[in-house]
Structure 1
Amino acid sequence: MAEPLWTAAEIAAATGGTVRGDFTAGGVSIDTRSIEPGDLFVALAGVRDGHEFVAQALAAGASGALISQAVDGPGVLVADTFKALEALGEAARVRAPQARRGAVTGSVGKTSVTQAIRAGLERAGRSHSSVKSYNNHIGVPLTLARMPRDTERAVFEIGMNHADEITPLSQMVRPHAVAITTVGPVHVENFPDGEIGVARAKAEIFTGLEPGGIAVLNADNPWFEFLKDEAHKAGAHVRSFGRAEACDAQLVDFEPYPGGARVKARLHGKALDFTLLQSGFHWGPNSMAVLLMLEALDVTLDDSLASLGGFHPLEGRGAEREIAIAGGAFTLVDESYNANPVSMQAAIATLGARATKGRRIVALTDMLELGADSPRYHAELAEPLAAAAIDRVYCAGPYMKSLWDALPSTRRGGYADTAAELAPQVARDVEPGDLVMVKGSNGSKAGAVTAALKALDVRSAGASA
């Protein structure tokens, strides 16, 4: 029988709590909708108090609960469930000293890079990682608390919206290697000093780095020298990736094709030639960062290349599918999970490089948290759209109105105040052979356009009939 993730006594020892009914837990959950049998349910305060859901969690199979007020059923009683979750996460790290830990942050690509690293760690042995985008003050300790005691390697995603958010999370993880994918104008409305404020916030990831740890940094980014200096101040060994010959991982060439790309690179001077299931240009530098991080976490190059070659695009982050409609099919590129000026321009350039029998169409919704310069950032997309020879542009949202106004009439597809109102316009326009990309910030509901296009699939309609 597998060793439990936690016993009630271990939870109590880690959190300073009191056992109320003995139990063991095989997992940790904060959401009754995703409870697995044997999980520990953590009753966090939120819009609703988690204690209201303890009975539901236990009925769904939770073996016990982490609570700060008396409820029926087995549990561990603590003073503060959020602080107890943090303590449980730190205890999980301390009891697994053999685990090599990595952490990833950045303005663009941190989830995809984290998950690509995860794929490499899985090939190399007993591994653990963040799921979805569990990268905030709750997600990071939750991910740590779920780490088995025999873990050999782990990777964590660490995000932020404001200054001073990454520091406590990095100090909780205590990574041996960290990566900053890039720094750009993301969340800038929360930084009065603009992009330099974002760069400083990303550099907070060095504060938790284990002595002599490795910092993997993007040499093509304007903030590279600043980040390198900050990393050196923290005692880190810097590994660089980018186009320059001096980079530890040099991207020599990136050749996209439908459903993938061929990459030519040099790792510490050694020539590499490999393929990806990703066609986005940003996957050139992303793959270099992944190789350096996997190397730092003691994964062999053979395992690293094999895992990269088999890593599929994530839903909402470049996943593609053919949508069958009357007379043929069109290709949908789903980039609906997130957007900012850096990722938007990369995605547009990638679409422009793709061969297609039909038109190149984009449906774009607002990029959020860009502050006072938001109208300018949106309007400036007109230039890369022209350079990529995009045939039709659909826009939704008050900020995207700035782009709509900047577009020539020949490129305009349609505008609406919301993604939900735009969706039927795009759905009516698509034709067989078209290459269609949907991209926008998650908060501006770009997924509504994606859903409307997927609903056109006659194969799905036939299967559900």
Structure 2
Amino acid sequence: MSSPLWTLDEILAATGARVGGGFAQATGASIDTRTLEPGDLYFAIKGDVHDGHDFVAAALEKGAAAAVVSEDKAPAFKESDRLIIVPDVLEAMRQLGRAARRRTNAKIVAITGSVGKTGTKEAMRLALARQGATHASVASYNNHWGVPLTLSRMPCETAFGVFEIGMNHAYEILPLTGMVRPHVAVITTVEPVHIEFFPSLWGIADAKGEIFSGLEPGGTAVINRDNAYFERMRAHATASPAGRVVTFGEHEAADIRAHRIIVKPDHSIVDATIFGQPLTYRIGTAGRHIALNSLSVLAASHALGADLALVALSFAELKPPVGRGERTMLALGDDEALLIDESYNANPASMRAAFANLGAVELGRGARRIAVLGDMKELGETGPRLHAELAEAVEANRIDLLFAAGPLMQNLVDALPKAKVAAHAETSAELVEAVCAAVRPGDAITVKGSLSMKMALVVKALKERYGASPTANALKG
């Protein structure tokens, strides 16, 4: 059996809970019965759609060590002796997360930014895992429940902790960074994401700058030197407990500077200097934005005292996750087409990055670059303009054909030559058949849109229609 993540005494000390007699220890923590493992502590939190208390019986039947339930719901489970009873389940998870942070000697990194949080977190996890036991956020667990859950899952013996912290309103990052208490805090960039909820981009910069408030005294703030809001972010850093500010980017004053970035269809090469010392490395996935974010990983690793040679070597193993640039070959008889799955989410900056990656794919004679796009949400009154302005990037990256879903995408459709627009529909589901029928041998297809547009339906349909095999060398140049 695995060593316990939490003992009964530790849980009592952290939460002050009432505990049934059938519980002694837990080897993990979960809020979802679909992924729960035997021995997990199940937190019955109330979400936007479901109340976790409705799944307590299923969690216990699946082998949960115990279920954390609220006082007012506990009578419904009086037959079980594997209960941890608390006034508020989410607050109990926060308390356990804070206890995990207090007991560890791990070096902690927290990452936020309008774009690139999850990819940078994964690169950071990969880099540090070569140098010690590393614990990191799963998927995009970066919100009011994802951060405390990740903390509560952190083993005592962890050497490095990597936490992603997100927001879509002001003052959401403050309590989360206060729980994580990072030694290094990174802002990848500030872009017009969730702008609907802010008066301006200055407001987004201020909200991202909240991450520095949780820094351990003397910690390091890592900031994108190329960003237009650099000075605003630096002001937040210098007003925080940070003892040092480290910058990255292509700017001549950046501490970690890229002098040359070569983007290939399936990888990138970076020539950089780290405080003046040269370093060249290969990244196992394509994208200029990924290359730039790798500089922030080097900056954070340097601040932690990690071996930068090992960090640079780890980048060669970096692969894009599902929905965030995963590349798949579709079988069309004896030929193939390339599918780039960017369906997880979208904003103006990530759209342009996706177009650049599609533009970098070298095609054979007669093959086409196809973009299947869904609306970008939470842009407020700027939404129509920001969609229309994508036309320039579509043209610049030699995209031949557009399929568009959603009312906001009408603005992009109207800004493009009619010959480029294959179809426009209200939903992604309405595009599925047309996209599948349009694919020809040698084509490269990118699918992207905000999560609520369900662009993954198109990805799923293409894979089911043509079969799919992940590839690291798809359509090499």
* Matching of residue 135 in structure 1 with residue 130 in structure 2: no
Q: Residue in 1 aligned with 2:472? A: none
2:431 maps to amino acid: L
Q: Aligned match of 1:89 in 86, 97, 109?
A: 97
Q: Would you say 1:378 and 2:384 are equivalent positions?
A: no
1:453 aligns with 2:462: yes
- The two structures have a TM-score, normalised by structure 2, of 0.94
Rounded to whole Å, the distance in 1 between the matches of 2:398 and 2:53 is 55
2:274 to 241, 248, 267: 267
2:35 is aligned with what amino acid? Answer: S
Distance apart, 1:194 and its partner CA? 1.6
**459 and 385 in structure 1: CA distance in 2 versus 1, 3 angstrom threshold:** closer
Contact 1:12 1:76 in 2 (8 A): no
The aligned counterpart of 1:124 is 131
Which letter maps to 1:150?
Answer: E
Task: After TM superposition, give the deviation of residue 459 of structure 1 in Å.
Answer: 6.5
Deviation by residue 1:262-321 (Cα, 9 ceiling, x = unmatched): 111111111111111111111121110111112223321122012211111111111111
* Residues 170-319 of structure 1 aligned to structure 2 (within 5 Å): 170-191=177-198, 193-236=199-242, 237-319=244-326
Q: Is the 8 A contact 1:319 1:335 kept in 2?
A: yes
Residue 368 (structure 2) aligns with: 359
Contact 1:129 1:154 in 2 (8 A): yes
Say yes or no: does 1:30 pair with 2:24. no
Q: RMSD in angstroms over aligned alpha carbons?
A: 1.3
For 2:418, what is the secondary structure of its paired residue?
coil
Structure 1 residue 64 corresponds to structure 2 residue 70: no
2:448 corresponds, among 421, 425, 439, to 439
Give the distance between the partners of 2:380 and 2:201, measured in 1 at CA: 11
Which string of whole-angstrom CA distances, capped at 9 and with x for unpartnered residues, describes residues 371-412 of structure 1?
A: 011011001111111111111111110111111111101211
Secondary structure at the counterpart of residue 33 of structure 1: coil
Q: Distance in 1 between matches of 2:349 and 2:50?
A: 36
How far is the alpha carbon of 1:5 from its aligned partner?
0.3
2-side partners of 1:243 and 1:398: how far apart? 37
**Structure 2 residue matching 1:142: 3-state secondary structure:** helix
What is the TM-score of this pair, normalised by structure 1? 0.96
The answer to whether the Cα contact below 8 Å between 2:374 and 2:450 also exists between their aligned partners in 1 is yes
**Secondary structure at the counterpart of residue 310 of structure 2:** helix
| Structure 1 residue 458: Cα displacement | 4.4
Distance 1:244 1:203 in 2: 20
Give yes or no for contact 1:140–1:156 (8 Å, CA) kept in 2.
yes
Q: Is residue 328–residue 468 contact of structure 2 (8 Å, CA) maintained in 1?
A: no
Task: Tell me the distance in 2 between the aligned counterparts of 1:39 and 1:99.
Answer: 22
Gaps of 5+ in 2: 470-477
Separation of aligned partners in 1, 2:182 and 2:351:
30
Q: Is the 8 A contact 2:283 2:291 kept in 1?
A: no
Q: Which amino acid aligns with 2:30?
A: S
Alignment match of 2:156 (pick from 149, 153, 157): 149
Cα distance in 2 for residues equivalent to 1:382 and 1:412: 11
Instruction: Give 1:64 shift.
Output: 0.8
Tell me if structure 2 keeps the 8 A contact 1:215–1:231.
yes
Aligned equivalents of 2:414 and 2:368: distance in 1? 22
Q: Cα gap change, 1:440/1:459 in structure 2, threshold over 3 Å: closer, same or farther?
A: closer
Amino acid at match of 1:43: A
Q: Which amino acid aligns with 1:443?
A: S
* Paired AA for residue 149 in structure 2: L
State the shift of 1:146 in Å.
0.4
The runs of 4+ residues in structure 1 deviating greater than 3 Å are: none
- Partners of 1:161 and 1:91 in 2: CA distance: 27
Q: What is the CA–CA distance in structure 1 between the aligned matches of 2:5 and 2:218, rounded to whole Å?
A: 30
Where structure 1 has 5 or more consecutive residues not aligned to the other structure, the ranges are: 461-465
Other structure's SS at 1:402 match: helix
Counterpart of 1:124 in 2: which secondary structure?
A: coil
User: Is contact 1:8-1:76 (8 Å) kept?
Assistant: no
Answer whether contact 2:265 2:357 (CA < 8 A) is retained. no
**Structure 2 counterpart of 1:90, one-letter code:** R
CA contact (8 A) 1:364 1:396 kept: yes
Instruction: Report the Cα offset of residue 181 of structure 1.
Output: 0.5
Match of 2:88 in 1: 80
Provide the C-alpha distance between the structure 1 equivalents of 2:328 and 2:298, rounded to a whole number of angstroms: 27
Show CA shifts across 1:80-103 (max 9, x none).
11111100000010011x111010
Q: Tell me if the contact between 1:254 and 1:261 (Cα under 8 Å) persists in the aligned partners.
A: yes
Kindly indicate whether the alpha-carbon contact (under 8 Å) linking 1:280 and 1:318 is maintained by their aligned counterparts in 2: no
User: How many correspondences in the alignment?
Assistant: 458
In the alignment, which of 48, 57, 77 is matched to residue 50 of structure 2? 48
The residue number in structure 2 matching 1:463 is none
Percent of aligned pairs sharing the same letter:
48
Cα distance in 1 for partners of 2:144, 2:305 equals 28
SS of 1:299 mapped into structure 2? coil
Describe the SS at the equivalent of 1:410.
Answer: helix
Q: 1:163 aligns with which of 170, 186, 191?
A: 170
Q: Distance in 1 between matches of 2:278 and 2:358?
A: 28
Q: Is the 8 A contact 1:153 1:297 kept in 2?
A: no
The answer to whether the 8 Å contact 1:325/1:456 transfers is no
1:9 aligns with 2:9: yes
Aligned in 2, Cα 1:214/1:458: closer, same or farther, shift over 3 Å?
A: closer
